[in-house]
Amino acid sequence: MAQDFDGEAIGQSMTSQVMAPRSTRPTFLAMLLRPLLLATLSCLPACNAQRFFMTTAVGGLSDYFDHPSSAEETLDEVAPGVFTFQSRWERALIVQTPDGLVVTDTFNPTFSRALRSRLERDGLWQPVRTVIYSHHHLDHVGGAAVLEPAEVLAHADAPAHWAATKPRDLLPPTRLVRGDTTLHYGARRIDLVAIPHAHAETHFAILVDNSVLYAPDTIAPGVMLLGGLPSVPLAGYFADMQRLQGLDFEVFVASHFGYAPKDEFVRTVAMMRDLDAIGQGVIAEHRVDGGFRTDKSTLKRAFKDYYDRTHAKYGDWHGFDTHILGTFIRIYTADLLGDTAPVPSPGCNAVTFDGPRCTNSGHLHPVPKSP
């Protein structure tokens, strides 16, 4: 068992608080001894250091979810007549239109009740014309009944998923769409931008008047994605993010955590690309006999290299310590499966999903500007 303790740097990282000020961090000696001491004390009598470190890592997930930005309920206007409401872990987009409110996503009844109460309290409540389900995942599609919408819109393939998963609290869609879809409410324009490779094949980003982009479950400002997400081929994820980046918008709103100007969207996608590129580089350096299915010590050295290089650049991003191991495993798995993303090179800053080739066009399928 002793040889497994050379992962102490990993275990220590899982226990640290990303958001804690640097000055509160323990001394080097304490950093070295504390996890060993805790491991010894906490797992007696059946001492199992691997179990301890993994348990610590899983427990660290709560730090990720309990981001300070999630502590208070907020309702902010991010563009004229376009609001974002955040309660705990979820964040929705609310658009005022001449036909009533358009809301995406509704998440669950608790969230929807909080949203409705807040809109009523602030004098912003109107009948809801449309609820849009951004994608079929169950954590996004509950609670719409609370809003009593006239219309519920979802991807045409979403019901097939729900037939298998039988979601609770789902208000069934009244209208199904497929591919890029434009909705008009008076002068208000809402584009459903199909991004089937980024997170779910039923997935839409929602673009309001070429001004506000709601990009659920794909990106959040200054945040590393949960457990090495996306859960899809990385090439597809980056192609869809490239597409969104090429759209005309000023503010992007994540479905979890915060919202930010477009510059932050670009910076966060660049971080994700860099994490992937560093991972591919580390794997290439440690590759043995043409493959990376290799021995334990090589894998450990590779992860230490990956941790050190990424920590030096992104150690202060929210979720780094919680998710850098998952991110490495995600890239490692992509290497085994052959679904790695092409790494952009100078002068070749975009990638397409249908092959490892680059294009300098950032506008793969641009959404036309509003007249």
The identity of residue 120, as a single letter, is E
Q: For 141-209, give the DSSP string.
A: BB-GGGG--SEEEEETTHHHHHHHH--TTBPPPSEEE-SSEEEEETTEEEEEEE-TTTT-TT-EEEEET
Question: Measured from the CB of residue 255, what is the shortest distance to Zn ion in angstroms?
Answer: 8
DSSP character for 274? Answer: H
Nearest to Zn ion by Cβ — which residue?
137
Q: What residues contact 360, with CB distance under 8 A and at least 6 apart? A: 347, 348, 349, 350
Residue type for position 99: D
Contact between 233 and 334 under an 8 Å Cβ cutoff? The reply is: yes
Cβ closest to Zn ion, residue 230 vs residue 342 = 230
- The CA–CA distances, whole Å, from 251 to 19, 77, 214, 263, 284 equal 24, 11, 9, 9, 37
Residue number with CB closer to Zn ion (137 or 155): 137
Q: How far is the CB of 191 from Zn ion (least distance, A)?
A: 20
For the CA atoms of 295, 300, 302, 304, what is the dihedral angle to 10 degrees? -170
In the complex, the smallest distance separating the C-beta of residue 368 from Zn ion, rounded to whole angstroms, is 28
For Zn ion, the closer of residues 91 and 137 by Cβ is 137
**Closest CB to Zn ion among residues 216, 221:** 216
List the beta bridge partners of residue 182.
191
The Cα 97–Cα 186 span in angstroms is 7
Q: Based on CB atoms, which residue is closest to Zn ion, 129 or 155?
A: 155
From the CB of 140, what's the least distance to Zn ion, in Å? Answer: 6
* Choice between 217 and 335, CB closer to Zn ion: 217
Residue 239 Cβ vs Zn ion, minimum distance, rounded to whole Å: 18
Question: Which residues of the shown chain bind Zn ion in the complex (CB under 5 A)?
Answer: 137, 217
CB of 219 to Zn ion, least distance (A): 12
